[in-house]
Structure 1
């Protein structure tokens, strides 16, 4: 019963995040780059998730709840599954897959790649920085870098990216992305690699970093490419394997 309640809670959080985003009005940059305006209300959901994660580091009651959830989820597990190593990338990759099938998103290839690269760098930087500071032991006791969950952060960053790019087409793209991200977080707990608080904080960090990437994009676009569209195609592809982070930049003339 607790497993079902946990899944419903995480999906509800994802739904609320999507519902909150629908109230945000898009603006169009003079260089045809479309971005979301900053609104303090956009900080509520990620702020609650990150705050809950940090609270759990010190709160004995939440720590006890972490153990209860861990015991419920990992009960009678014979083998681990590695699907979360792939699902963390699925929401972000879906943006490019949909475009390849001629389902156009909000931004062109160049601009969305800059946004994704910015989001990934912010997310990875925040995750690794907090891991080195907090030193929380993983549930399986293999290391002291449990908080926050990097897999979950990348998955939710991609889910927010997918939602922002395709919400004008259909909100269900975002719903699917957030469902996959939620599943990634659950599998991290199922594999006994993270606590619930790790997953909650990772989700909040991922959402917030993608929002920040959209807020920063007009400035970054002007700095990287100038005000005029060039007759070339640029592609930035970030990647993160859980241990290292890399960015591939391709430009054709």
Structure 2
């Protein structure tokens, strides 16, 4: 008998141990409620996302410009054109051809003054090239498709304004690169860009709709370039600007007293 009971215990013992060590099945009731695996607390609302903040202002500018083409809208392009001609008559100049690039001149000037930009020189150059490609391509396509005649009747490539798009693209890059240092850099750049838009209408080259939409295309192109850039070809700035700069008094027997500029590149 003891031998029979010992054999029975030896047979049932592994089964009882296995039953005790079998893991409890996982609760899969809520398995597909959050398939991305991202905590709900970390998700940003759409209105706070980078994409929305980067496109809302350009979209409003482009949309408003499109709704005021020719005689459309409460204060149409025709209304603005009549008011501009009433004030400026036949006045014309070519300053807008040069002023469209003026915001870019802030970049080397600020860097030489020792102010550090958001990106290093390599990545800043890549962002600039990418944004220019986006702007030129989009403006050319829209000009060709819309076929709007210029106020002076010179051609049918009026909408949107390429000069204005260029100026606001440059201003947006200046603002993005130096806004952490001072908002005045961006304010100055956008003031120059706005003056380009005004001169395009004064010179009878563009309608109101063209310059407002052009501003939107310029800003949007810069924002898309930054959103798609990942700083893969270079490094973040580690110092101030592009080197040490200073002004020192100096005197020479031939020229007398003066002020010298010293730059020590990094």
Change (3 A) 1:65 1:55: closer
What is the match of residue 69 of structure 1?
80
Q: What are the residue-to-residue correspondences of 1:30-41 with 2, within 5 Å?
A: 38-41=50-53
- Asked whether 1:141 is paired with 2:147, we answer no
Out of 147, 151, 174, the position equivalent to 1:162 is 174
Q: 1-side partners of 2:116 and 2:98: how far apart? A: 24
- Larger mean CA deviation between 159-168 and 67-76 belongs to 67-76
Q: What are the residue-to-residue correspondences of 1:34-53 with 2, within 5 Å?
A: 38-53=50-65
Out of 183, 186, 196, the position equivalent to 2:198 is 186
- Which of the two has higher C-alpha Rg? 2
Q: 2-side partners of 1:217 and 1:41: how far apart? A: 16
Aligned positions, number: 187
- What stretches of structure 2 of length at least 5 have no aligned partner? 1-48, 237-266
Change (3 A) 1:60 1:191: closer
Q: 2-side partners of 1:180 and 1:69: how far apart? A: 21
Q: Structure 2 length as normaliser, TM-score?
A: 0.66
Partner SS state of residue 39, structure 1: helix
What is the match of residue 128 of structure 1?
140
Q: 2-side partners of 1:164 and 1:54: how far apart? A: 27
- What stretches of structure 1 of length at least 5 have no aligned partner? 1-36, 230-253
Describe the superposition over 1:186-218 as per-residue Cα deviations: whole angstroms up to 9, x where unpaired: 100000000000001100010011011111111
Give the root-mean-square deviation of aligned CA atoms.
Answer: 2.0
Tell me, yes or no, if the aligned pair for 2:71 and 2:78 is still in contact at 8 Å. Answer: no
What is the match of residue 93 of structure 2?
81
- Asked whether 1:116 is paired with 2:128, we answer yes
What is the match of residue 227 of structure 2?
215
Partner SS state of residue 74, structure 1: helix
Give the structure with the higher percent helix.
Answer: 1
